[in-house]
Amino acid sequence: MNMARGVLGLAMSIGVMASCPAGAEILLRADRVELTVPNGGMTRSEPPRSVSRFKHRSLDLTIEIEVNGPKYYEYWKRACAPEKLDWEAAALYQIGTLARTDQYFYSRISRDSRYGISTPKGSWLQHCLIFRSDELAAKMTIDLPKSAQANGTTASEIERLLASVRLAAASIEERGESDPRLVLEVPDDVVPTGLPTYAFQLKHDRLPLSIGVTLSDPKAFETAKLLNQVSARGWKVGNLARTDEYFYYFVGPDRYPDDLALGFRAEGITVEIDVGVERSSLDTGDITVEQIERILSSARVIPASELVKGRQNPSPWAR
């Protein structure tokens, strides 16, 4: 199964279209999402992050691959083999080698259960591979019971997959079951668990304002909606000038929340938008909660039919 080519032609442009006069608002486009933001421009702070997940049809085996900026290589490496461990914990981490020629790090981690605390008697095994190119880094983890690892066919398939996965210089706009920046061939018995998640991080060029736009599988909406129940941060429920099905939560004083989150369902995806702002900028009036709520109220997903038109007649303001 070759997943290097996507099957959905989704426009990937982080751009600004000058639709408002100076001092007012501008229209921001992040992938398929449009929203109005205060004038001044916004810049993408790092490459789009993605997470692709797969599972085996019959075995209790899962695969997760995350793609992000190159700076994450060392961070992930420490997660797959912590630098400071006592002798007992160190026995849980086995550094390995693969038939690869790029920059990579590979370890096998023993655990007492799939999500439990590691012990020397671990019955669960996690393969952790970190690799990078000049522009990107990737982390691939394969989790399975040690009993499944004992199967010779399964072990050889895992080793072949770990050795072959690569990063490619590709755009995510033609994406499908996995990130097209990944060159990935998985066994026929391994299937995606849903559409990949893509996250875009942007910072305002004038204000201390950051916006995160996350696109995920449409089935993720109900789980995302539980944020105010499962998070320890004390999210409060708010209301916006929207008529679709959505959730809106915020953290902080009602008058000056500094972290605000919107989620809604759209054509084939779940959209989550997080807005962070410095409390001092709210105190001084550089930006107001009302302005931020207008940003969230304006968010919409561009229909696929409009995306096709946009590719035929691209906006001269996109950057």
DSSP one-letter string for 238-279: ---S--SSEEEEEES-SSS-SEEEEEEEETTEEEEEEEEE-H
Percent above pLDDT 70 for the chain: 83
pLDDT at 283: 73
Residue 249 has pLDDT above 80, yes or no: yes
Residue 231 has pLDDT above 90, yes or no: no
Task: Say which residues have a Cβ less than 8 Å from residue 256's Cβ, sequence separation at least 6.
Answer: 279, 282, 283, 289
**Strand pairing partners for 297?**
none
How many residues in the chain?
A: 319
Distance CA 12, CA 17 (A): 15
285 torsion bin: left (phi>0), alpha (psi -120 to 50), beta (else) = left
Set out the domains of the chain in order of their start, with CATH numbers: 8-48+196-311 (3.40.1000), 49-192 (3.40.1000)
Q: Give the tokens for residue 259.
A: 């972290």
The number of helices, as runs of H, and strands, as runs of E, in the chain is 9, 22
Buried b (16+ CB within 10 A) or exposed e, 296-306: bbbbebbeeee
Instruction: Give the SS3 label for residue 93.
Output: strand
Task: Say which residues have a Cβ less than 8 Å from residue 265's Cβ, sequence separation at least 6.
Answer: 218, 221, 244, 245, 271
What's the Cα-to-Cα distance from 125 to each of 93, 145, 229, 270, rounded to whole Å? 10, 6, 31, 32
Tens of pLDDT, residue by residue over 22-76, are 457 888 888 889 999 988 788 887 899 999 999 999 888 999 999 999 999 999 9
pTM of this structure? 0.83
For the sheet with 14-17, list strands across it: 14-17, 25-30, 33-38, 300-301
Contacts 24+ apart (CB under 8 A), 22-27: 25/294
User: Count of CB atoms within 10 A of residue 149's CB?
Assistant: 17
Torsion of CA 273, 277, 282, 288, to 10 degrees: -20
Query: Confidence class of residue 117 from pLDDT cuts 50, 70 and 90?
Result: low
Percent above pLDDT 90 for the chain: 45
pLDDT at 88: 65
Tens of pLDDT, residue by residue over 157-183, are 899 999 999 999 888 877 777 789 999
CA 162 to chain centre: 21
Q: DSSP class of residue 185?
A: B
